[in-house]
Amino acid sequence: MATFAIGDLQGCYDPLRRLLDYLDFSPERDRLWFVGDLVNRGPQSLEVLRFVKGLGHAAVTVLGNHDLHLAMQAAGFGKANKEDTLAAILAAPDRDELLGWLRARPLFHVEGDWAMVHAGLLPAWDIAQARALSDEVSAALTAPDYLDFLANMWGSEPDAWHDGLAGWDRLRVVVNAMTRMRFVTPDGRMEFRAPGAKGPPERGPAGCLPWFEAPGRKSADHAIVCGHWSALGFRQTDRLLALDSGCLWGGSLTAVRLEDRRVFQLPCGRSAQPTGWQ
């Protein structure tokens, strides 16, 4: 049995299947961890969604910002973007089943010393608090009145956490941190708008640092698996596996076998063979 953590797919179905063939993946034996952003911008979002859903218990998926964007578009909220490639899902005969399954995915997953989130965790959150906050968002996404949450979910304020937050503001901060965040200030405020906020760490906003380098980060006792940040690229340290290596943009699709941290990468954008190394 092996557990493979895989970076952002964003509708790149064919590269995923080529990588899984190379890994000799078997759903009866192995498990896949997906860091979110299963859909959007790529050419085969519907195929990805159907495939991952069909894996059942062999797949663990956390939600990314593009997955939530799909949920909002299906509900009639938010603005469509010209780069969106969600039309096939929204027109599919099984759209309601697929969207219901997607909304039931968590923002955060923990097993042993590993934890997975799409974007990151605010410095003030330890693993137990992050899991509890993810559960609060999951309850809102699967409640009978989930449309009320989707109507109030998006936006960049508040930009920081405090324990007194309540209502939509509380849930919005959790969503933003776990699905959108890259940079924070030393006191834990998220930065989304300043120049460089989507770029590589060395050209980030003035006075900010990557969330995983925040001083005193309380989740540093676990190894965090994440994606979301193609400008960061693949990065592996003792306590971080950043897996968005830009398959959508012609980079590569990255998988890491968690049992021994062996890395496998498939060059995307052409018919290339995957590679694996220790």
Predicted confidence at residue 276, as pLDDT, reads: 60
Question: For 228-253, how does the pLDDT look when each residue is reduced to its tens digit (9 = 90+)?
Answer: 999 999 999 999 999 999 999 999 99
Domain ranges of the chain: 3-277
Q: Percent of the chain beyond pLDDT 70?
A: 96
DSSP letter string, 67-93: HHHHHHHHHT-S---TT---HHHHH-T
Predicted confidence at residue 270, as pLDDT, reads: 52
Predicted confidence at residue 78, as pLDDT, reads: 81
| Residue pointed to by tokens 């405090």 | 162
| pTM over cut 0.85 | yes
Class of the CATH-defined domain 3-277: alpha beta
Name the stretches of the chain with pLDDT < 50: 271-273, 277-278
Each residue of 90-124: b (16+ CB within 10 Å) or e? eeeeebeebbebbbebbbbbbeeebbbbbbbbbbb
Whole-number Å distance between alpha carbons of 247 and 197:
21
